[in-house]
Structure 1
Amino acid sequence: MSKSLHQAKITPHRSSARGHSDHGWLNTYHSFSFADWYNPKFSNFGSLRVLNEDRVKANSGFPTHPHRDFEIFSYILSGELTHRDSMLKKGAEGGQSGRFFRMRRGDVQFTTGGTGIAHSEFNEHTKDTVHFLQIWVLPWARGLAPRYHTLHFDEEDKRRGFVKILSPLKGGVDATAEQEKAAEPRAPGTIPIHADFVMAAGIVAPGSTFEWVAGGKATEATKRKVYVHLPMTKGGKSKIRLDGRDDAILEEGDGAFVEGVNAGDKLSVESVGEVEAEVIILDTA
């Protein structure tokens, strides 16, 4: 496959260069500086600030903790994760509501921290470990009203091409109170985020190629940066090649910084491993 993004710079971020901590109950990898791990080369990428690949054992998790002024979301790869938050009175959590939600594969939980919110994320399963990505994005404004969204994204849709998961809130940084309340995203069927940022996911069969259109046809800024991540889901058997470049082949746990692209440019993602590859796209201004 020939290169199509001649002007783009693609820099792999190897899994071995990530921060890593194993606390027993939590086995976590940090693509960007987080907690006690700091690397000045990996502090943020556009508005993308945190990308953690976490595994939490059964009957353990993150107790209630606060967040402010970040857009935070969890993408469930396997297992289940139960979310509870401070926006609902204790004892009124019943049912699968937005305030008490047991997330499973295909679910995405999104949080606008804004002026302040507290939540817990716990694996209440009796034996299975939960594997998920936790991602933080810098919003375009501070002091936003706290809010949650939870949506499910179909597995088979991801096998047909990249499925958009997040896109900017309509109205952008100047969104009115009505637009905030309506919470309408620019890309239909996605979760609205307070940033010029698009997330997508695809499951690419061996020998197949998906194309990602920079900006996702849902953003304002022409100049884009794209981060590609290949989670550790197939025991090391999945592998991808970006833009047909042999120096941009990613193995599980690897990521890549794609710079120098404009909205509308097409990035090819080819599955070159033994098994299908679940690919995460994080597209930022």
Structure 2
Amino acid sequence: MSKALAHAKIVPRRSSDRGHANHGWLNTYHTFSFADYYDPQHMNFGSLRVLNEDRVDGGTGFPTHPHRDAEIFSYILNGELTHRDSMIKKGAEGQQGDDFYRMKRGDVQFTTGGKGIAHSEQNESDKQVHFLQIWATPWARGLTPRYHTKTFSEDAKRAAFLPILSPLKAGRGASEAEEKAAEPTLPETIPIHADLVMAAGIIGVDKRFKWTVGGSAVKSATGRHVYIHVPMTKNGSMKVRLDGREDAVLNEGDGAFVSGVNAGDVLSVESIGEAEAEVVVLDSD
């Protein structure tokens, strides 16, 4: 297959080059500088600031902790993770909602840290949970804190890249009422305060998905930053090839920085491994 995006620069980020720490209860890999892992060459990519691939043992997790001025989201790959606002104590949760949610595969939990929020994320099951924790830099500081949780269809992910996050439709100057309405640019997605689209797909063996840069939802049309990540979910059996390039083949845990692209460009992602490939797209300004 010839390159469709000859003008694009694609630089793999190998899994073995990521930051890594095993704390016993938490086994974590960092694509960007985070906590005790400092890498001045990998501080951010566009508005994408954090991409951690975490495994948390049963009965453990992240106790109540604060966040501020960050858009934070968790993409569950396997297992169960319970999110609760700091005001909600265990045993008094009530029904699942934005401030309390027991997440499973297919769920995405989103937090606008804004001017300050506190929550916990605990694995209250007896099995390990595997998830991606992702942070983006918002387009404004001091936003009103918000939570959103939504389940995304596995079948839809097997048909094409399924958008999960898209920019708040009202944009940077949103009124208080528009913030409360929380309408995303793309229907059935979670709104984010950033010029960013997140999508996920599950690509069958020998199949190819196409991602249209910008996802028809962004304000910044030129100089997009697209990060592709292949999580470690199939014991090494997944493999993808980007834009038909032999030097852009990604194995599990690998990612790739795609730069020099503009909204409307089409990036092909081909599954060439022995198992269907789960692929996460993070497309930012």
Q: Which residue of 2 aligns with 1:160?
A: 159
Contact 1:107–1:151 (Cα < 8 Å) also in 2: yes
Percentage of identical aligned residues:
69
CA distance in 2, matches of 1:125, 1:64: 18
Q: Which residue of 1 aligns with 2:14?
A: 14
Q: Which residue of 1 aligns with 2:70?
A: 70
User: 1:100: Cα distance to partner?
Assistant: 1.6
Q: Which residue of 2 aligns with 1:140?
A: 139
Contact 2:97–2:149 (Cα < 8 Å) also in 1: no
Contact 2:170–2:183 (Cα < 8 Å) also in 1: no
CA distance in 1, matches of 2:283, 2:84: 29
CA distance in 2, matches of 1:176, 1:264: 29
Instruction: Answer yes or no: is 1:220 the counterpart of 2:223.
Output: no
Q: Which residue of 2 aligns with 1:107?
A: 107
**Secondary structure of the corresponding residue to residue 260 of structure 1:** strand
CA distance in 1, matches of 2:161, 2:250: 18
Change (3 A) 1:276 1:89: closer
CA distance in 1, matches of 2:246, 2:89: 54
Is the deviation greater in 47-56 or in 174-183? Answer: 174-183
Residue deviations 1:212-243 (CA, integer Å, cap 9, x gap): 00000000101211000000000000000000
Give the RMSD, CA atoms, in angstroms. Answer: 1.1
Q: Which residue of 2 aligns with 1:34?
A: 34
Q: Which residue of 2 aligns with 1:3?
A: 3
Q: Which residue of 1 aligns with 2:24?
A: 24
Q: Which residue of 2 aligns with 1:241?
A: 241
Give the ranges of 4+ consecutive aligned residues of structure 1 lying more than 4 Å apart after TM superposition: 87-92
**Secondary structure of the corresponding residue to residue 134 of structure 1:** strand
**Secondary structure of the corresponding residue to residue 61 of structure 2:** strand
User: 1:86: Cα distance to partner?
Assistant: 2.7
Instruction: Answer yes or no: is 1:45 the counterpart of 2:45.
Output: yes
Q: Equivalences for 1:54-93 in 2 at 5 Å?
A: 54-86=54-86, 88=88, 92-93=92-93
CA distance in 1, matches of 2:89, 2:218: 37
Q: Which residue of 1 aligns with 2:269?
A: 269
User: 1:90: Cα distance to partner?
Assistant: 7.8
Residue deviations 1:108-128 (CA, integer Å, cap 9, x gap): 0000000111100000002x1
Q: Which residue of 2 aligns with 1:196?
A: 195
**Secondary structure of the corresponding residue to residue 41 of structure 1:** coil
Contact 2:30–2:51 (Cα < 8 Å) also in 1: yes
User: 1:101: Cα distance to partner?
Assistant: 0.8
Q: Which residue of 2 aligns with 1:207?
A: 206
Amino acid at match of 1:192: P
Contact 1:200–1:282 (Cα < 8 Å) also in 2: yes
Q: Which residue of 1 aligns with 2:281?
A: 281
CA distance in 2, matches of 1:3, 1:184: 37
TM-score (norm 1): 0.98
Contact 1:166–1:199 (Cα < 8 Å) also in 2: yes
Q: Which residue of 1 aligns with 2:172?
A: 173
Residue deviations 1:40-60 (CA, integer Å, cap 9, x gap): 111000000000000000000
Aligned length: 284
Contact 1:106–1:154 (Cα < 8 Å) also in 2: yes
Amino acid at match of 1:131: H
Residue deviations 1:63-94 (CA, integer Å, cap 9, x gap): 00000000000000000000111355787521
Amino acid at match of 2:24: G
Which stretches in structure 2 are left out of the alignment for 5+ residues? none
